[in-house]
Homo-oligomer: A and B are copies of this chain.
Amino acid sequence: MLSFTIQNVLIAISDDYATVDVQVVDGKIAAISPNLQVIGTAIDGKNKLLLPGFFNAHTHSSEMWQRGIMSTFPLELWLAELYDFAPLDPEQVYLSALGTAVETLLSGGTSVVDHLVLIPGLELETIAIAARAYREVGIRAFIAPLIQDESLSAGIPSGESTQSHEPYFRSTAATLEIIEEAVRQFHRPDEGVSILVAPTGIQLCTDALFAGCIELSDRYNLCRHSHLLETRAQEKLAQEKYGCTAVEHLKKIGFLSDRTTLAHCVWLNDADIAILAETQSTVVHNPLSNLRLGSGIAPILKYRQAGVNVTFGCDGASSNDSQDLLEAIKIGSILHNVTDSDYQHWITPRQAVEMASLGGAKGFNLADQLGSLTVGKQADLVLYDLTNLSLLPRTDPIGLLVLGRPSNVVDSIWVNGKQIVTNHQVTTINVDELRQELFNRSQWQTKRKSETVAQIEAHYRTVMDL
């Protein structure tokens, strides 16, 4: 059942393409060569391109409920609005996890990293239901329960005023216990579901929380995930909090490692970049949300030149406002051409594909198992239909895929050798029923009024010199 042979399919080789057969046996790539014997089901690869699956390496699935309606705000105010209207029903989390998985798959992703917002008081239920959704779809899931131990207002710099903040509603110890219990119940890497330790970031986490996460990561061999320096406000806050940069502080407390993925990384200086390279940390680039929230342009070309591993994420659908990974890869590639006039440094479509696949595998400590079409690796594969109008006329298939605006081009997907997309349709769940549920549980509406924004906006404008 997990064995099949794709025949006569285009694959990328060095600087060219080749037409080959690809044999998958027991969920692993067994052979890549022309004219192979058919093992298992024969799949027609004619006029199709086979690539390793991409990572949607940073998202927040439940933001799907608020996409399209969030105000045009910077992160700090946007977060206040987001939390004022966050979904509180686990069934909603289930549906938005399904939706996130479907959109990720149909834009070439086979892995999703869900920095999952937990419903207060229903933390383990939230994790359980997201895990259930991803298992049902069959996408490879990295669930990173979003934790913090400071209240939201602490994430804005104080400036010259003295601000006091409400204590966070749950203790640091209780939060860490939830994560440990989640690891016991849901961390099953061999079955395609992993739990990550995922403190939201320096802006809302104490050193005690980071230390607890590091300890769990070491004890259970878990990857580490966090936001890092998404905004100028966070850069200011780090100086207020630590008297040094956030990266220097994270290095000092031992959070950075070769299995640490850091979302955004917009406001790093050259010394910070050197630290990321030295610690072999991975940057997850979320270009759409960095634009939408006005966070800035992450110095991705500098990261690449410094040898820092970079991969792509959609970020949550409320700051994007989609989960189209090909869009994130396109914009995340071309955006940087305006930051460096020497075009020899620009990201090529083939480099972008490698960042989205192998770059993700490296970040989640799976480079020996995922991220490329290599014999022995697991079969997380995406077959693209090159006869779609959006990929015509025929030129360079990877150029068309990365730089174009492909629409409905994902023909088939296998994760760990199991086929979950066939003939452009997700076959593991009823997507039309999902669509109906999302429709029925929502209402068209115009802009809402956030109470929290009303409370904090004046302070934000003062501190940020607006």
Contact = CB atoms under 8 A, between A and B. Distances in A.
Contacts of A176: none
B69 A321 contact: no
A394 B444 contact: yes
Contacts of A232: 341
Interface stretch (A136-144, A245-253, A396-404): A396-404
A435 interface: yes
Contacts of A397: 68, 444
Contact of A290 (B296, B338, B386): B338
Nearest to A95: B393
Contacts of A404: 67-68, 320-322
Given A15-B447, A386-B444, A403-B292, A65 B102 contact: no
A219 to B, nearest CB: 39
A159 to B, nearest CB: 15
Contacts of A296: 338
A386 B446 CA distance: 15
A35 interface: no
A456 to B, nearest CB: 14
A149 interface: no
A335 B291 contact: yes
Contacts of A347: 72
Given A399-B321, A403-B67, A392 B338 contact: no
A119 interface: no
A438 B343 contact: no
B334 A392 contact: no
B395 A66 contact: yes
A116 to B, nearest CB: 18
Nearest to A323: B405
A288 interface: yes
A16 B446 contact: yes
Interface in A285-331: 288, 290-297, 320-322, 324, 327, 331
A342 interface: yes
A247 to B, nearest CB: 21
A47 B452 CA distance: 32
A434 B74 contact: no
Nearest to A87: B393
A337 B292 contact: yes
Interface in A73-118: 73-74, 77, 99, 102-103
A442 B393 CA distance: 6
Interface residues of A, number: 79
A271 interface: no
Contacts of A70: 399
A174 interface: no
A91 to B, nearest CB: 13
A465 to B, nearest CB: 8
A444 B73 contact: no
Contacts of A446: 15-17, 396
A334 B294 CA distance: 8
Which of A74, A341, A342, A401 has the most B CB atoms < 10 Å from its CB?
A341
A173 interface: no
A403 B438 contact: no
Nearest to A107: B405
A443 B294 CA distance: 41
A387 interface: yes
A405 B400 CA distance: 18
A134 B77 CA distance: 46
Given A74-B343, A341-B74, A400-B67, A387 B435 contact: yes
A388 B439 CA distance: 9
21 contacts: A15-B446, A16-B446, A65-B393, A66-B395, A67-B393, A69-B399, A291-B334, A291-B338, A292-B334, A294-B343, A321-B400, A322-B390, A341-B466, A386-B444, A387-B435, A388-B435, A392-B439, A394-B444, A396-B445, A397-B444, A407-B407
Given A67-B403, A72-B348, A341-B464, 4 more contacts: A68-B400, A320-B403, A321-B404, A392-B442
